[in-house]
A = this chain, B = another copy of it.
Amino acid sequence: MSKLVECVPNFSEGRRPDVINAITDEVKRVPGVTLLDVKPDADHNRVVVTFIGAPEACKKAAFNSCAKAAELIDMRTHHGAHPRIGATDVIPFIPVREVTMDECITLANELGKEIAEKLDIPVYLYEAAAKRPDRVKLPDVRKGQYEGLIEDIKKQERYPDYGKPEMNLKSGATVVGARQFLIAFNINLDTPDIKLAKKIANVIREARGGYRYVRAMGVMLEERHQTQVSINMVDYTGTPLFRVFETVKSEAARYGVNVVGSEIIGLTPLQALLDVAEFYLRLEGFERKQVFEENTEGM
């Protein structure tokens, strides 16, 4: 088994298929990289691209697709519902297999430097790669968006981590970083009372004193006549799924409300589910290599 990294760049183009294809073609072209998913959104005028591969190959694919976006997207005429500061808005690296977070931070630094030097685009580092605490969270880095940053970048506290403190008017700026795998985890309650769902979301979310690495909100499920605690688990190794699930269950029970089910939207690392099985079965001394399929890699 070899080193594997995931990379999920977001580009500020969700409407023109030819532009999106030209960008993703740059990813496909790099040997050792596999394009997993391309999700354009016309309202957001943005596309989320997911690929995996060896660390160096992923860095190359990220740079090449960023260069293509710089060529084909002009931020001076870009409009969309989603916050953004550049043609390539954000590039996170995520450790998948035999790669540490530190290695992803190094990747982010190398890529950021290369983008700044070769494409003349200012680069900010965020999440685990952040060099300042006020740049850990993406919304903080993106404050004022492309339009506001044209002036703000000249202020010292907004100086980019790589590149000159001067906006690239065509391409904007780019945020590069390293983070854990994000799991979209929703828990459904057998009550239509949205206030209750919001109350429970507040109990578990980090911003309100709940669990670290948990973002949550209450959502109405109109068709089911139920509500949902909609959760982003931004580091399942820090706060595991079972802990959040058990807390929601117990808080709901206090109001006589049941958890009717939960959903994982999109992908989850295997380890997050193994942790769940280990917890509930109270497994002693379990090792991942006891999973049969872990021994069949490449067969």
A contact residues vs B (CB 8 Å cutoff): 2, 4, 6, 34, 36, 52-53, 96-97, 181, 188, 241-242, 245, 259-264, 266-270, 273-274, 276-277, 280-286, 290-293, 295-299
Asked if residues B290 and A269 are in contact (CB atoms below 8 Å), the reply is no
Asked if residues B270 and A282 are in contact (CB atoms below 8 Å), the reply is no
In chain B, what residue has the closest Cβ to A260? B282
Question: A2-B299, A299-B52 in contact; A262/B284 too (CB < 8 A)?
Answer: yes
Asked if residues A96 and B263 are in contact (CB atoms below 8 Å), the reply is no
Can you list 26 A-B pairs, Cβ within 8 angstroms, ordered by A?
A2-B299, A36-B295, A96-B296, A97-B293, A97-B296, A241-B281, A242-B280, A242-B281, A245-B280, A245-B281, A259-B282, A262-B282, A262-B283, A262-B284, A263-B286, A264-B286, A266-B290, A267-B295, A268-B292, A269-B291, A270-B270, A270-B293, A273-B273, A276-B277, A277-B277, A298-B298
Asked if residues B281 and A267 are in contact (CB atoms below 8 Å), the reply is no
Interface of A is mostly: mixed
Min CB distance A67 to B, Å, is 25
Min CB distance A298 to B, Å, is 6
Asked if residues A283 and B264 are in contact (CB atoms below 8 Å), the reply is yes
Alpha-carbon gap, A260 to B297, bound state (A):
33
Oligomeric state, in number of copies?
A: 2
Asked if residues A281 and B266 are in contact (CB atoms below 8 Å), the reply is no
Min CB distance A228 to B, Å, is 11
Partner of A273, one of B96, B262, B264, B274: B274
Partner of A53, one of B2, B282, B293, B299: B299
Question: A4-B296, A276-B277, A299-B34 in contact; A263/B284 too (CB < 8 A)?
Answer: yes
Asked if residues A261 and B283 are in contact (CB atoms below 8 Å), the reply is yes
Min CB distance A104 to B, Å, is 15
Min CB distance A72 to B, Å, is 28
Chain B residue numbers with a CB within 8 Å of A52 are 295-296, 299
Min CB distance A166 to B, Å, is 39
Alpha-carbon gap, A39 to B270, bound state (A):
29
In chain B, what residue has the closest Cβ to A281? B262
Asked if residues A290 and B262 are in contact (CB atoms below 8 Å), the reply is no
Chain B residue numbers with a CB within 8 Å of A6 are 292
Chain B residue numbers with a CB within 8 Å of A36 are 295
Chain B residue numbers with a CB within 8 Å of A2 are 299
Asked if residues A292 and B241 are in contact (CB atoms below 8 Å), the reply is no
Min CB distance A243 to B, Å, is 12
Min CB distance A180 to B, Å, is 12
